[in-house]
Amino acid sequence: MDTKHYEVIIVGGGISGSALFYELARYTDAKSMCMLEKYEDLATLNSKGTSNSQTIHVGDIETNYTLEKAHVTKRAAKMIEKFNLQRGLQDKIMFAHQKMALGVGEKEVEFIKHRYHEFKELFPYLELWDKEKIREVEPKLVYADKEQTKDRAEPIVAMGTQSEYTTVDFGAMTKELAKAAQEEDKITDIFFNAEVEEIEKVGDKYKLTTTSGSVFTADFVVVNAGAHSLFLAHKMGYGKHMGSLSMAGSFYITSGEFLNGKVYMVQNPKLPFAALHGDPDILCDGKTRFGPTALALPVLERYKGLKSLGQCLKTMNIDGNILKIFWDLLKDSEIRNYVFKNFLFEVPGINKGLFVQDARKIVPSLSVDDIEYAKGFGGVRPQVLDKDKQKLMLGEASINPGGGILFNMTPSPGATSCLANAERDIEVVAEHLNLTFDTERFLDELTDKE
C-alpha cells in the first residue's frame, strides 16, 4: 500500500481544521498539506450550522467574558468577518442582525449598566437601551401578553447594537475555507472517510494509520478533532493530566419568528456553561431558536450512536482528581439544580413546559404551543478537566508536547476563534519546519491593523 507524505497533516475537517488548512496554504511557503476527515464531508459535527448557535462571539454581549478576554475575542471575531467579506459571503453565509445582552430585574439591570460603561471604550458601537428602545427593537421582550397590551413587571435594560455582523453558518464557512485553500498553488489534499486510529512517531516523522488501513506520514501533525483530540493525545501518552467532560447542548425552535436578532442573558458566574439565549436561525427561515441546554453525555459525538461511548469513558480519565472536580461542582445547590433541570429538558412530555419557564425570561408571552424540541440540533463540546488543579478549564485547551505535533480542543467560542487559533498554531509549525509565515499579508487581509 502506498504511503502518502505531506509536510503538514491536519486531523479533523471541522472549522478549526479548515482554518489552519487555509492559512497554511495562503500565508506560508509550505508546499504540501492534507486534511483527514473521518466522515463523508466537512463539518458534519460541531461546526455544522445546526450544531451551534451560529454566533460570532465578539465579547460585547457575552457577559461571562472579562474585558481582557473580550480584547482577544474581538480580534478573532474580526478575522471571521474579514474572511467572509473578502470572499463576498455577506448575506449568503454571514448576516447582520441586532444583538443585545438583556438584564432582567434590578440586580441584572445594574450589572448591565455597569458593564456597558466598562466595555464601551472597547466596543464604541454599543448602545444602552431602555425599555422603550427595546420595545422598538424587540417588542416581544417587553410585553407580558401576546396581544401586547401589558408590559412585563420586571425592570429591563440591554446593551446592544444594530450595526454589526452577528451570525455565520459555520458549516458553510468550513467548506469555503477548504475551497480557498485549494485555490492556492500547493498540494492541498482532503481525504474523507479517513478516521485516524493511531499516530506514531517514527524517527523525525509521524505515521498516521486510519481505520481502513490507509497510511500517511507527515513532518508535522495538528489534531483538530474536538474531544477526539484528547483521546488521540492520551493514546500517545500526552495530556494525561487532563480529562474531558462531554457536554451536549440542545435547542428548542419556535413555530414562527419571535426575535429579530440575538438576545443573550446575563450569565450566572457559578455556572460554567452558556446562559440561555434566543437567536434567529439562518437555516430555518428565521425561526427563533432558544437554547442551549447543558446535558452531560457519555459520548464524544452527538447523533452518531454509542460508537464513541468507550472512547468517551477513556477520555474522561477518571480517578480521584476527576471525581473531586465533579463533587465540587455538584455540591453547590445552584449547579446541582441546574444539571438536574437540564436533564429534565430532554424528557418528552415534561420538557417543553419546563423549558418555557426559563425562556419566558426572554419572551414573557412564550407558550408551550409556540415551541418544539429541535430534533437533530446541537452538538457535544469537550469541557476539559485539569486533574492537577482539580478544576474545570474554560476555553480552548491545547497540548504541545514539542517535536512536531499539536492537539487542540476548542469548546465555545471555538468557531469564532478558528482563524486566530490557526495563526497561533502556524507560528509553532513554521518554527519547527523552518517555514516562512507571511505575517504582513495575514494582518493586512484578516485583521484591523492597529
Q: What is the pLDDT of residues 141-170, one digit of tens each?
A: 999 999 999 999 999 999 999 999 999 999
Nearest to 252 by CA among 284, 282, 294, 288: 288
Q: Which pTM does this prediction carry?
A: 0.94
Whether pLDDT at 200 is above 80: yes
CA count, 13 A, side-chain hemisphere, 227: 31
| pLDDT over threshold 90, residue 339 | no
The mean per-residue pLDDT over the stretch 240-263 comes to 91
Pairing of strands 215-223, 156-161: unpaired
Share of residues in the chain with pLDDT > 70 (%): 98
> Residue 406: what residue type?
L
Q: Count Cβ atoms below 10 Å from residue 322 Cβ, excluding itself.
A: 19
Output the CA torsion 331→332→336→339 (10° steps).
-120
Domain-wise residue ranges, the chain: 3-446
Q: How far apart are CA 326 and CA 358, in angstroms?
A: 25
> What's the CA gap between 429 and 414, in Å, rounded?
20
Work out the average pLDDT over 322-347. 86
Mean pLDDT confidence for 404-413: 86
Say if residue 1's pLDDT is above 70: no
Q: Are 170 and 15 in contact (CB under 8 A)?
A: yes
Nearest CA among 261, 44, 20, 26 for reference residue 170:
44
Average per-residue pLDDT in the chain? 93
Checking if the pLDDT of 224 tops 90, the result is yes
Report H helices in 56-102.
Answer: 67-86
How far apart are alpha carbons 293 and 277 in whole angstroms? Answer: 10
Q: What is the pLDDT of residue 359?
A: 95
Q: What is the mean pLDDT of residues 390-407?
A: 87
Above 80 in pLDDT, residue 396?
A: no
SS (H, E, C) 303-362: CCCCCCHHHHHHHHCCCHHHHHHHHHHHCCHHHHHHHHHHHHCCCCCCHHHHHHHHHCCC
Could you give the C-alpha distances from 257 to 110, 199, 363, 364, in angstroms and in order? 30, 48, 12, 15
Q: How confident is the model at residue 328 (pLDDT cuts 50, 70, 90)?
A: confident
Identify the CA nearest to 174 among candidates 51, 321, 300, 61. 51
450 pLDDT band (50/70/90 cuts)? Answer: low
Tell how strand 156-161 and strand 127-129 pair up.
antiparallel
Q: Are 392 and 328 in contact (CB under 8 A)?
A: no
Dmax over CA atoms of the chain, in Å, equals 74
**Which is more confidently placed, 372 or 339?**
372
The CATH code of domain 3-446 reads 3.50.50.60
Q: What pLDDT shows up at residue 381?
A: 81
pLDDT in tens, 66-101: 999 999 999 999 999 999 999 999 999 999 999 999
